[in-house]
Structures are given as C-alpha cells and as structure tokens.
Amino acid sequence: MIEDEKVKKKINIKDTARSLKQQLKWLLFYVKKYWWAMLVITVLGFSGALLGLFGSLFSKDLVDIITGHNTGAVIKTFAFLIGMTLTSSIVAQLSGYFTNKITMKVENEIKRDIFAKILLADWEKLCDYHSGDLYTRWGSDISSVASAILSFIPNLLVYLFRFGSAFYIMVRNDISFAVIAMASIPFSIFISRGLSRKLRQNTMRSATINAKMSRFSQESFSNIQIIKAFDITKVYVRRLKELQEEFVKMRLANQRVSIIITLLLTIEGLIFSYISYGWGIYRVWEGAITYGTMTLFLALSSSLSTSINSLVNLVPNAVMISTATRRVMDIAEIEQEKESNREEVRAFYEQNENAGIGIIVRGIEFEYRNGNDVFSGVSFEAQPHEIIALVGPSGEGKTTMLRLVLSLVHARKGDIYMIGADGERFDLDASARSLMSYVPQGNTMLTGTIAENLRFVKEDATDEEIVAALKMACAWEFVEKRPDGINSEIREKGMGFSEGQSQRLAIARALLRKAPILLLDEATSALDPETENRLFENILADDYPRTCILTTHRPSVLKNCKHVYRVKEHKVTEMNDSEIDELMGVRR
C-alpha cells in the first residue's frame, strides 16, 4: 500500500509538472505579445522602488544632520526629502493609472481572442461546457490571466530589485544587519511551502463552485416562466441557499488559509523587526553606527521584510494564476473548425448564383461522441426551387441531419456536398455556412428592434429589403400595425410577441440573408395551417433559386414539398404519394 501511494504521488508530481509546463508555454505567447506593456509596468515599478530607496537615504542624512546640529544643511536636505516624497507619490499615481489602462487594454484583447476561438470551436466538443461555465472562464478567469501576464513578472522583478538594493546598502554599511534580515527568508519559504498545496486545492474547488453558481443563476433567470408555471419557486430558492452555503464554506476555507499565512508572516516580520531594532540600539550605544544609519537600517530592514513577504505572496497568486490559466486553456484549445475555403465557397456561389445550389447526402453514417448512434447509410438530395421535408418521430435525427448539413457535427463515413448546375461538387465544411440560412427550434429573437434583429444577418439591409422579407414570411401583417413598425422593440426571448409571430420574424431574418440554402427546423410549429401554407407558397413563388430543407411533425406542410423523407431507425427513406397521403389523412 505504501509503495502504491509513492507511485501515485510520483505520477501526480509528474502530471502537475507537465501541466505547469503547458501553462507556461501557453502564457508565453501572450507574454511575448505584450512585452512592451510589461516593460512599461516594470520601469514604473523600478522608479517607485528607487525613489523609496533615495527617500530612506535622505531620511538618514536628515537624522544625522539634526543630531549633529548642522542647521545649515537641514533646510536643503528637508527640501530634497519633500521633493522625493512628492515625486514618489506622483510616480505611484501614474503607475497605477497606466497599469490599469494597459491591463484593461490587454484584458479586452485577450477576451476578443478567446471569444473568437470559442465561436470557432468544434460545436460538439464545445457543448461539453455549460454556457454559464463558459461565461465564467471567459470573464473572471481571463481577467486573472491578463493581470498575471502584466503584473506577475514585473512584480517579481520589482520585489527582487527592492530586496537586492536594500540588501546591498546594508552590506556596504554594516553586514550584521543584512545577516539578521536574511535569517527571515527560510521561515517565509517554509510557511509558504507548507500551505501552498492546500491553497491550490481550495482554489480549484472555488473555481468549480463559481461555475456552478453561474450556471444556476443563468438557467434560473432564463426559465422564470417555467419556474412560475410549475410553482417551484421555493425549490429554486432552496437550491440557491444550498449553493450559497457551499460557496461561503469554500470562501471561508480560502480565507482561513490566507489568515494563517498573513498571521505567520506578520509574527515573523515583527520578530525580526524587533531583533533589528534591538541590534540597532546596541550598535549605536557602542558607537559603531550613527542614529541616522540605524534609522536607515530599520527602514531597509522593513523594506527587506516587505519584499520577502511580497515574494512569498506571489506563491498563492501563482496558484490562482495556474488555476485560471488551466480553465482558459481548456476552452482556448478546443479543436477549431476549418474555415480555410471561404474564397472557394465565394467563387462557387458566384458561378451558381443564377441557377442555384443543391445539397447531396450520400451514404452517411453518424454517431455522437457519447456513443448515440443516429444514422447508417443515409442518402437523399435537395435541389433549387424545391422544398423537401424530413419527417418522423422525435429523437430519430431530423435536427441532427440539419446539423450535419451545417457542418456543426461530422459524419464518420459518407459524403455531404453542394452541387452546382454544371455538376461541380463542393464538399461541405464550416466555410459553406455563408451560403446557408437557418431557423432552429425555439425562440431565437434577440433584445433590440425588429430591424436590428433582421440586420443581424445582413448589416447593410435597407428598410425596403426588411419589409420585403417580412411580407414573404407573413410577418408584415402584424409588424405594420405596431406604432414603430420595424423599429418596434423586442424584449428578451421575444417577450411582447406570440410564439407564432416570433417564428415568422425568425423566418424573415433567414429569408433576408438571401442564402441559396434554407434550413427550417420545426420553424412553423406555432403557425396556423393557413398562414403556414401562405408562407411556403411565398417561398416557392420567389424567383430566387433557393433550396429548402425542413423538418416537421405537421402533415399539412407536406403538400408544398417536392420530396418527403421519413427519418426512422437510423435510416432516411423517401415516401411515395400514397404514404404521404396516408400521413396527411387524405383519401383518394
């Protein structure tokens, strides 16, 4: 058992070392990128340290002058001391200002970088993370990383400089004070080493609990209607209380560790400060040093002690930085989608703009990463000026097929490609989404005006184009009745509009994009049959060569479809006229 524990310990040490190496390598990219900012902060820190050192030297001279009754030099030295103090204060304020300014700039740049990587990450792998957890990693964790990049190394250098300069002056004047100051270092290291592991564990737990709190609050506020409808308000309040208690327990555990470290370092500092003070009095009494020199040594001793404690305190900071870095790396290193074919996609579109683009699916086999098998040997096609439907029971893979067309997920076998009028083939990837419009299930309206929601997919759309898209989607009939028309406000999750109205606005947004491929996932489920029929008649009557693939549970849609495919038991099979009539309840 003891040998097993030793082996496990060695493996953990190796894993930790490997992880830290990866984190340092990842951080190095940003360190190189923002070296100029680190240099500015370091120079400002060095300036403050030098001014503090000169202030101590002038204080020494002032004490020696006063005790020597040299009144002629008092005014001059006192003036220099005041000047140093004011300059030091100005430098400190400027340092704080520029440090905050640079930190915010760098933090925003890193957030933009990681934000882009999240949006371009492999969709299926990204789904392993809750949106609340993603927000926490993108928010507070990146703030910690940005602060670390800009402050950790400069602080380390400044603290070392303060320590080295104070130690050098001590050695030059009286090495005995330097020996006393150095004696505190082993104690500081011992205190830090003994508690750093506990701090690392607590920090990891704290990050996990923060993510849980973020997930809970986001889901609660997004589902207030459900919570009210099921009358489970008390249940959610109780869950919040439990999470808060867990959070408080962890925060207090972290604070206890911090208190222990602070108290131990404070006691250590007091002990060695009083030793230095006693030794200084003794050296003055025996005539080895002046009162001014003793004052200088006490100030330098305090500076040494502060520098040592600051260096020690970098250890828990390093622990927090390591935790935040690991969490940001997890999402930053998710495999990125391939978007290298954008120019080829644009050329393919321009070549087929007038005739339209079809979709061909051949021999597709697909299963999700969790092992859920969805398709086996699936084939079908859709052509311009056609609407094809995918029908079947829930959970059989209709939405998954649209995700495959969108390249959000990828088949393990088979081909999905676009085809032009001349038979030219273009394999689908993330770049091809620029030729698609998509209306998913559920409410996808954003907070803002109707016009802003529609321009979300086409920024330069004119008011006339927006109105035309609304008319085609049968949405203009209720939009024009609103006092502000297309500038009417849409609240969060489409509040103020019915489910059917929100669906028509979402369809109008997709139509406004003028993409050659339109994907509708249960997009008309809240519409009445008459409005639904008018909508698809408008789409079919449009001259634009649009290929439309829809999923539906509603038989009434099928009369507008060129082909109907049943999705069932891992297969997609085309239905004949009699099967469609039976599904629609039509008797011949």
pLDDT digit string, tens, across residues 131-165? 878 888 888 888 888 877 777 888 888 888 888 87
What one-character DSSP code corresponds to residue 550? E
Confidence band for 364, pLDDT divided at 50, 70 and 90: very high
The predicted pLDDT at position 346 comes to: 92
Confidence band for 447, pLDDT divided at 50, 70 and 90: confident
Q: Which amino acid is at 106?
A: V
Residue from 399, 333, 392 nearest 366 by CA? 399
- Residue 169 confidence (pLDDT) above 90: no
Q: List Cα–Cα distances, 417 to 345, 382, 404, in angstroms.
A: 12, 11, 11
3-state secondary structure string across 426-440? EECCHHHHHHEEEEC
Q: Which residue has the higher pLDDT, 17 or 382?
A: 382
**Mean per-residue pLDDT for 546-555?**
90
- Residue 214 confidence (pLDDT) above 70: yes
pLDDT (tens digit per residue) in 48-103 = 777 777 766 666 666 666 666 445 566 666 666 677 677 777 777 777 787 788 88
Over its C-alpha atoms, the chain yields an Rg (Å, rounded) of 35
pLDDT (tens digit per residue) in 94-118 = 777 877 888 888 888 888 888 988 8
pLDDT (tens digit per residue) in 302-322 = 777 677 767 777 776 777 788
Cα gap 454→562, rounded to integer Å:
28
Q: Is 127 helix (H, G, I), strand (E, B) or coil?
A: coil
The predicted pLDDT at position 586 comes to: 54
Give the bridge partners for 375, in sequence order.
Answer: 366
The predicted pLDDT at position 7 comes to: 44
- Residue 200 confidence (pLDDT) above 80: no
- Residue 492 confidence (pLDDT) above 60: yes
- Residue 191 confidence (pLDDT) above 80: no
- Residue 512 confidence (pLDDT) above 80: yes
What one-character DSSP code corresponds to residue 417? E
Q: What is the mean pLDDT of the chain?
A: 81
Cα gap 324→211, rounded to integer Å:
12
- Residue 8 confidence (pLDDT) above 70: no
Share of the chain above pLDDT 70, in %: 84
Q: Is 363 helix (H, G, I), strand (E, B) or coil?
A: strand
| CB 472 within 8 Å of CB 554 | no
The predicted pLDDT at position 196 comes to: 59
The predicted pLDDT at position 551 comes to: 93
Cα gap 368→21, rounded to integer Å:
33
Instruction: Please tell me the least confidently modeled range out of 12-21, 281-290, 436-445.
Output: 12-21
pLDDT (tens digit per residue) in 23-34 = 888 888 877 888
**Mean per-residue pLDDT for 281-287?**
72
For CA atoms 111, 114, 116, 118, the dihedral sign is negative
Of 103-112, 224-233, 433-442, which has the strongest mean pLDDT?
433-442
Confidence band for 388, pLDDT divided at 50, 70 and 90: very high
| CB 447 within 8 Å of CB 491 | yes
- Residue 168 confidence (pLDDT) above 70: yes
One DSSP character per residue, 149-191 reads HHHHHHHHHHHHHHHHHHHHHHHHH-HHHHHHHHTHHHHHHHH
For residue 413, with 0-12 CB atoms within 10 Å meaning exposed, 13-18 middle and 19 or more buried, which class applies? exposed
Give the DSSP H or E segment for 399.
helix 398-405
Q: 129 φ, ψ to 5°?
A: -105, 135
The predicted pLDDT at position 51 comes to: 73
**Mean per-residue pLDDT for 560-569?**
90
What one-character DSSP code corresponds to residue 134? H
Residue from 448, 159, 182, 200 nearest 315 by CA? 200
> Other C-beta atoms within 10 Å of 92: how many?
15
Confidence band for 11, pLDDT divided at 50, 70 and 90: very low
Residue 329, token pair as written in the block? 């790396």
Confidence band for 588, pLDDT divided at 50, 70 and 90: very low
| pTM strictly above 0.85 | no
Cα gap 78→73, rounded to integer Å:
8
The predicted pLDDT at position 142 comes to: 87
- Residue 544 confidence (pLDDT) above 90: yes
DSSP helix, strand, coil percent of the chain (3-state; round to 5): 70, 10, 20
Cα angle 197, 200, 202; round to 5 = 110
Cα gap 452→478, rounded to integer Å:
17
Strand bridging mode 436-439 / 517-521: parallel
The predicted pLDDT at position 470 comes to: 95
Q: List Cα–Cα distances, 278 to 87, 257, 283, in angstroms.
A: 32, 32, 9
Q: Which domains does the chain have, with CATH numbers?
A: 34-332 (1.20.1560.10), 342-441+514-584 (3.40.50.300)
Burial 1-11 (b: 16+ CB within 10 A, else e): eeeeeeeeeee
| CB 94 within 8 Å of CB 44 | yes
Residue from 400, 447, 438, 401 nearest 523 by CA? 438
| CB 505 within 8 Å of CB 527 | no
What lies within 8 Å, CB to CB, of 529 at 6+ separation is 556
Torsion of CA 457, 459, 461, 463, to 10 degrees: 100
Instruction: Please tell me the least confidently modeled range out of 59-63, 326-330, 514-518, 556-560.
Output: 59-63
Q: What sections of 223-290 are H helices per DSSP?
A: 224-229, 233-285
Q: Which residue has the higher pLDDT, 131 or 463?
A: 463
